[in-house]
Amino acid sequence: MIEKRQFYINGEWVDPKEGREHHVIDPSTEEPAAVISLGGQADTDAAVAAAKAAFPGWMATPKEERIALLEKLIEIYKARAEEMAETITMEMGAPIEMSKTQQWGAGYGHLKNFVRAAKGFEMIRPLGDHAPNDRIIYEPVGVAALITPWNWPMNQITLKVGAAAVAGCTMILKPSEETPLDAMLFAEMIDEAGFPKGVFNLVNGDGAGVGSQLSAHPGIDMVSFTGSTRAGILISKAAADTLKKVHLELGGKGANVIFADADEKAVKRGVIHMMNNSGQSCNAPSRMLVQREKYDQVVEEAASVANSIKVGNPHEEGRHIGPVVNETQWNKIQDLIQVGIDEGARLVAGGTGRPEGLNKGYYVRPTVFA
């Protein structure tokens, strides 16, 4: 089993001060794949202190130097693509082909876009022709706490870290305890790229622990959080006492609207988009609202597409979907499918239980109700 108990604080891998063990489960086997540490208040304090000490120097670093470091990080990220993809597949069950393209690729695209945007962004610019002697000066907000989810780990980590880095903020990353290994691999890349000590720090923990500690910490100037609405409300309340800036990207439900004149691939696209990443995306169109005269045809087609989607081992190559991330999510989904049946919805594809041939792993049958 992989052992990754340390945190990355002030440019070094350090042992936890208050760590407790946490197993990272491979959802395809239901077995532990790694053991990490969940930090405590002393670990959070150490990371915040390092970021706070590094902030004045990083803020004063010319934008061009920050961009150059990000460009070096991009090259390292590209060189270690295979390792990153395999890590994400092991942690959260994304099929390896998807991890190599969509999961890894999202991070690569975001980092490149931040470099492009930063090169064209003027930190000091004239207010306007009406005030020729006045200037708008953009400054980094300070020390940022970055709290990221498990469903698209590199997508969210790079969105937050890339923005903070080019702006001149120092940061503490708390990734989801479900998917900490890709974040630790990313920290290795940050170190290899040569970012100054204290600019980027990583402390593993859960929401109730390190997440809450960062949200309330007086040394944190901003919290950027992606996750559930419930957690977003708690973070907002915790941050209010110290007047932190808070940026939230919370849960939602998307619907496809299918009109009678929709193109012939609209339904197929909608169902496949929903099932991508085993349905674990904030933009998954989990409802399809259909114009009445086309309804029966769309139900039949949606069921046919769902029945054609293969579910399989995420470590194997091929076009299929993998398991959901953990036992808690699997049980929740099974309960919801059963509620749909009990309340009288018409089950036209899938249902409860694992797909045929899969008796272990958190696999869910592609399911459609009408």
Active site residues: 249, 282
Side-chain-side CA neighbours of 13 within 13 Å: the count stands at 13
Q: Which of 365, 122, 142 is nearest to 242 (CA)?
A: 142
Give the DSSP H/E element, type plus range, for residue 58.
helix 41-60
Q: List Cβ neighbours of 247 (8 Å cut-off, separation of 6 or more).
A: 222, 223, 224, 225
The torsion of the CA quartet 17, 21, 26, 29, rounded to 10 degrees, works out to 170
Q: List Cβ neighbours of 365 (8 Å cut-off, separation of 6 or more).
A: 311, 349, 350, 351, 352, 353, 354, 355
Q: List Cβ neighbours of 356 (8 Å cut-off, separation of 6 or more).
A: none
Query: How far is Cα 247 from Cα 263, in angstroms, rounded to an integer?
Result: 37
Instruction: Name the 3-class secondary structure at 111.
Output: helix
Decide if 184 contacts 8 (C-beta within 8 A). yes
Q: Which of 24, 5, 1, 23 is nearest to 15 (CA)?
A: 5
Instruction: Name the 3-class secondary structure at 3.
Output: strand
Write down the residue that tokens 């619907």 correspond to.
Answer: 255
β-sheet bridge partners, residue 215: none
Paired tokens of 106: 């999202």
The alpha carbons of the chain give a radius of gyration, in whole angstroms, of 22
